[in-house]
Structures are given as C-alpha cells and as structure tokens.
Chain A
Amino acid sequence: MSRPLVPSRRLLSTFSQCLKHDKTQSLTSQCRQLTTLRTLSQTCLNIRPVQNGGRSEGPRYFSTSSSRTYKTVQEQRSRYRSGPFSWRAGLLFLSSGAALVFYFRYEKARMERKRVAEATKGVGRPKVGGTFELVDQKGDIFTDGDMKGKYSLVYFGFSHCPDICPEELDKMSQMLDLVAAHPSASSKPPLLPIFITCDPARDTPAVLAAYLSEFHPSLIGLTGTWDQIKDVCKKYRVYFSTPSNVKKGEDYLVDHSIYFYLMDPEGDFVEAIGRQHSPEQAAGIILGHVGDWKRK
C-alpha cells in the first residue's frame, strides 16, 4: 500500500526537472500529459541518460530536493521496487519490538513482586514478624536485630519431625545453594536461613546443632523457653501445638504451619513459600525480591 507513496517525492523532483530544464516543448507537454506515477517514472527515467550526455554544455540537472542520486537506472529501479523496506530496517523493527516486549514483561513482573512485597508495609497492613530474643544452636543470643540488613528465610519446625520438616529443610538447602550460585548473589544482601523450633522442650541448642548439621552449614537454629517460642510464633502468625507441660522422655509430635517466610532487610514480611514451590521456583522468587531491593 505504501509503496507507491514513498518514492513519489523523488519521482516528482525528476518530474520537475523535466518541466524546468527541458528546452523541448514536446517533452514538457509529454510530461504534463502523464497521469499515473508509474508511466511518469518510466518516461522521465528514460530521458535521464540523454540529459547526462549533454551535461558538459548545458545547465546541470540536479534535483535539489533529493539527497540521493543513483548512478544507474538499475539502481534506482531496484530501490523503487524494494521501497523503504530493507533487511536493515526490518531487523531494527523486529529487535526494537522484541526489546519492548521484553521490557514490558520484566516491568510487569517487577511491579507484581513490588505489590506482594509492599502488601505488608505501611499502616493498617497485617504485620508478620516482629521483635524476639532467642538462643541459637551455639548457645548465643539471637534477636530480630541480627536479621536487619539481610534478607532472611524463616522456617518453623522441630527436630523430631517425621517427614515434612526434613524434606523442607533439604529443599531449603537447595534453595540456599541456588541463590548463592546465582551470578549476582555476591552483590546482594546475603540471605540468612533461620530455623525456629516449635518444640523448645526437646530442641535444646545442642539438639538443634546435631540436627541441623545434617542440612545446610549456614542454617541458624533458634530455640528458647516455651513462652518465648509461643511469642515469636504468634508474631509470625504460625500455628503450633506443642503441649506446654511435657514430661521428660515423652514422645510426641508437634503440629505446626509449614511455610518459609521471606523477610526483607527491614524485618518486614515479603512472601511465603510453601510446599507447592520447587527449590528452583523458590530460589527464583527469592532472587527476584533480593534483586529489587538493590534498586531502592
């Protein structure tokens, strides 16, 4: 559709040449009689070699409006045939289109993550997380202040857990390795993996140390008194059902929520990762949020 339109400017200039310079009245009238652009172009093009031949004596026949001149008729014809489209223009069009699509998709994903991350920020939002003071597996005090400045992945469980906790902790180890192996990992705030027991009666620091040593070396195991654990579970909206008055040597299970809580460097809850996420998906979620943080 656009093909006849674009070369018309050049053709018109050639046409004006015909009108301006040709001394022969017959040609002018011939040009005037032309009705279609196609026949016009053919007629005028046929005339050009004659003009060029007489260049040395007569006035120079340059088109003022056209910046490009063609050496041969064939060149101009082929340019006319291909119109404004060339492989270069096509490539530019396609690559800029692809870049735009990619950019919009990326921005959409980022905005979605931002929405999830900021759903718990500000006034009137449900608060997940908060202050606590517990003891780690080495017997040192660990508080929420130690989580500041780093993203942390918090999991609640207990060492005498039959199957789900060990599976999830193995998954957590894989997630940590995947996140650490990511090329951009070194430039980002480090990820702190935290395991908080729901079974403080049996999970003493030494028990946690023995238990967690079979999983990831960077895991931090936290325990405390029953009241301290009850408090931190309440703050993280974790449901658990450890009986508070367990006798020594008693065998029991603890029912608890099984989510990983991703917390940002300010100690705010970002997103929950559940059983339905594979380690790869989980690592992708974590890396997405951690990557966003750098830009802030």
Chain B
Amino acid sequence: MGLFSTTSASHPAPKISSDGAPIAPDRTQRAKCWEGRDAYFQCLDKNGIMDSLTEKDKAEKSCAREGRQFEGNCASSWVTYFKKRRVMEYQRNQTLERLRAEGAKEMPGELGPGALGQKP
C-alpha cells in the first residue's frame, strides 16, 4: 500500500534469524508498541487532533514526547498504519452514526472492527 519508508532511527534494529531475515517483533515488543500508540492517541484526543499526519505540526507541538515514545517502540510502517487506521476508524464510526441517525437498519452479522477494506 505504498507504505515504504526507512526504519526509524530510534527504533531498535530487529534481530536477524538463522537464515538471514529480520525476525518480526515478538509479543512483548508488540505490547510495548501498542502501549506507546495508546498513550500517543490519548494525547491527540486531549488536544483535539484526529489526523496526526495532516496536522503534523500541531501534533508535533502538543504530543512530542508521546510521539517519540510511540515511534521508538514501533516500526515506522506500523506508526503510519496506526495513524491512518485511527482516522479511518473515526470516519467509519461517523458514517455508521450518520446512517443510524438516518434510520438505517443494521443487518445481522455485522462485520468486526477490522473487516473489509482494512489493513491487516
């Protein structure tokens, strides 16, 4: 999806497996990354910022510390993904609410939070 970017300098280089490929983040690394993400998004919420990619300067000014923590614990592709997903989920919820307000009926078997048209 065109999320190519170089690995963040602050993010520790991944371990290399026996056949020379970088090992994916393990459970503890993932948990740490998610923690950083949640703290960052909490800060964005507090400052009324939804899209930290388009409102980059504002986010940088208000949540610099949380932002660095977030980027330090996650691969940069994950950072971009989470930031985009936050916006996407917000828009989806807005759409659902608007539809509900218009009196749309919910179909049985509603799709889960990570359903169609989402990143992995």
Smallest Cβ distance from A198 to chain B, in angstroms?
Answer: 8
Given contacts A207-B17, A275-B115, contact A249 B1 (CB under 8 A): no
Does A206 contact B75, Cβ atoms closer than 8 Å? no
Within 8 A of A (CB), among B1-42: 1, 3-7, 17-27, 30, 33-34
Q: A159-B24, A160-B25 are in contact. Are A274 and B3 (CB under 8 A)?
A: no
* A204 CA to B18 CA, complexed, in Å: 10
**A253 B111 Cβ-Cβ under 8 A:** no
Is B119 close to A, CB under 8 A? yes
Question: How many residues on the B side are at the interface (Cβ–Cβ under 8 A)?
Answer: 37
Say yes or no: is A166 at the interface (Cβ < 8 Å to chain B).
Answer: yes
Shortest C-beta distance, A248 to chain B (Å), equals 9
Overall SS of chain B's interface: loop
Chain A 252-293 residues near chain B, CB threshold 8 A? 252-256, 258, 274-276
Q: A160-B25, A206-B17, A254-B120 are in contact. Are A166 and B30 (CB under 8 A)?
A: yes
Contact B24 A204 (CB under 8 A): no
- Does any Cβ of B come within 8 Å of A57's Cβ? no
Determine whether B76 belongs to the interface, using a CB cutoff of 8 Å to chain A.
yes
Are A275 and B111 in contact, with the CB atoms below 8 A? Answer: yes
Asked, given contacts A204-B17, A204-B21, A252-B4, whether A164 binds B27 with beta carbons under 8 Å apart, the answer is no
- A158 near B120 (CB under 8 angstroms)? yes
Q: Say which one of B47-55, B64-72, B77-85 lies at the interface with A.
A: B77-85
B120 and A276 within 8 A (CB) = no
- A213-252 contacts to B (CB < 8 Å): 214, 241, 249-252
Residues of A within 8 A of B75 (CB): 160, 251
Measured CB to CB, the residues of A under 8 A from B are: 157-167, 202-207, 210-211, 214, 241, 249-256, 258, 274-276
Supplied contacts A165-B120, A276-B109, A276-B115, 8 more A-B pairs, CB within 8 Å: A157-B120, A161-B24, A161-B120, A164-B120, A204-B20, A207-B21, A255-B120, A275-B112
Cβ contacts A to B, 10 pairs, < 8 Å: A204-B21, A206-B17, A206-B23, A207-B23, A211-B23, A211-B26, A214-B27, A251-B7, A275-B115, A276-B112
